[in-house]
Amino acid sequence: MTAALLGQAQLVGHAQLVDPFTPFAAPFLGRPLLLLLALAVAAGTVGVLVHLRRLEFSTDGLTHAVFPGLAIGAALGGTAGLLPGAIGAALAAAVVLALISRRGQPRDTAVAIVLTTFFSFGVVLVSLSRGSGGSISDFFFGRLLTITWGDLGVALTLIAIAVALIVVTARQQLFAAFDAAGARRAGLPVLALEVVGTVAIALVVVAASASVGTLLALAVVIVPAAAARALTRSLPTAIALSIAFGAVTGWMGLWLVVQLAQSGVDAAPGATVALTMIAGYLVALGVGALRGRRAAGTAAIAVDGGAAR
């Protein structure tokens, strides 16, 4: 599919495709780039909150829970059905999660049960409706390059709402994430803040799942914040780095898709972008570890110096 799409771009010539900017003038590459940049902003806000509240596994559960909704939506309404399906599934998952938690199950158990149930259900649905809805890999990664202006508009709107929710409540969210008991004693509406945070996460997951697939949605929310944390101990820097990381790896991933297609390799675009992000994360981990070792070395020298005195 990628190669077929890129066939249109053959007109601009191979030399220009190697150039890092020109390919994105083509709408089928410009739209996904725009989406990935918007998701980078979500990574720096919603993603950082997920990281601070250690909600990575819940977010994973949510992305997988959205999956059967995508399958049902696609079977009933084609691509137009994806978003309503995702929203419906996210709501259903939230209700089931709350019910299981209320039964006294630990949060991780509840998430694992919801993840497995919804995900298996989605796979069964996709296998039953083969041909009409799309393949499993489509739901995971496949539609990054086929997103329309309409889809993009809806996705950008949902992401904007999610980012706005977090920015407006940012300082209270930080207090509640740092010390929930202290925030409650200080009179902050901790439960309401949690709900607002969860809604924002769900909006990003829904927008990303319906447009770039389930697994890339998860990568975009979780990987940039984790990479930023490996590089810095400062929160404002971590936010800036998350956004920059998401934008750069998103753009590099797309660029890589173009290069691979040029060499005749039809790599799944979403998965390629996700792998680019993971590669960036590994680099960040390495750099962070090196810097940590150097800082520890400096500290040891300082201690030695102090002892010598």
Partner 1 sequence: MSEQRDAVVEIQGGAFGYGGAPVLTGVTFAVQPGEAVALIGPNGAGKSTLLAGILGLAQHRAERFRVPTGKGEIGTLSQSSAIDAAFPVTLEQVVAMGRTPRLGLRWPGSGDRAVVADALAAVGLTEHRRTRFGDLSGGQRQRGLLARALASEPRLLLLDEPFNGLDQPSRDALIETIRTLKARGVALLITTHDLELARAVCDRTLLVNQRQIAFDDTDCVLTLEQVEAAFASHVMEIDGHTLATTEHHAAEFPEHRHPFGDDQLGEPAGERDEAR
Nearest Cα residue to 202 out of 63, 95, 53, 99: 63
Q: Which of 12, 117, 123, 184 binds partner 1 (CB under 8 A)?
A: 184
Conformational region of residue 265, where left means phi above 0, alpha means psi within -120 to 50, and beta covers everything else: beta
Q: Does 168 bind partner 1 (CB under 8 A)?
A: yes
Q: Which residues contact 279 (CB under 8 A, 6 or more apart)?
A: 249
Cα atoms found within 13 Å of the Cα of residue 58, Cβ hemisphere only: 22
- In 225-267, at which residue ranges do the beta strands (DSSP E only) sit? none
Given the complex with partner 1, which of 19 and 179 has the nearer CB atom? 179
Nearer to partner 1, 215 or 221 (CB): 221
Binding track, positions 48-67, relative to partner 1; x by CB under 8 A: ----x---------------
CB of 175 to partner 1, least distance (A): 4
Q: Which of residues 179, 195, 282, 290 is near partner 1 by CB under 8 A? A: 179
Candidates 89-97, 132-140, 181-189, 280-288 — which segment interacts with partner 1 by CB under 8 A? 181-189
The full 3-state SS of 95-154, as one line of letters, equals: HHHHHHHHCCCCHHHHHHHHHHHHHHHHHHHHHHCCCCCCCHHHHHHHCHHHCCHHHHHH
Report the residue number, 190 or 223, with the smaller CB distance to partner 1.
Answer: 190
240 part of the interface to partner 1, by CB under 8 A = no
What residues make contact with partner 1 under the rule CB under 8 A? 52, 168-169, 171-172, 174-175, 177-188, 229, 232-235, 238
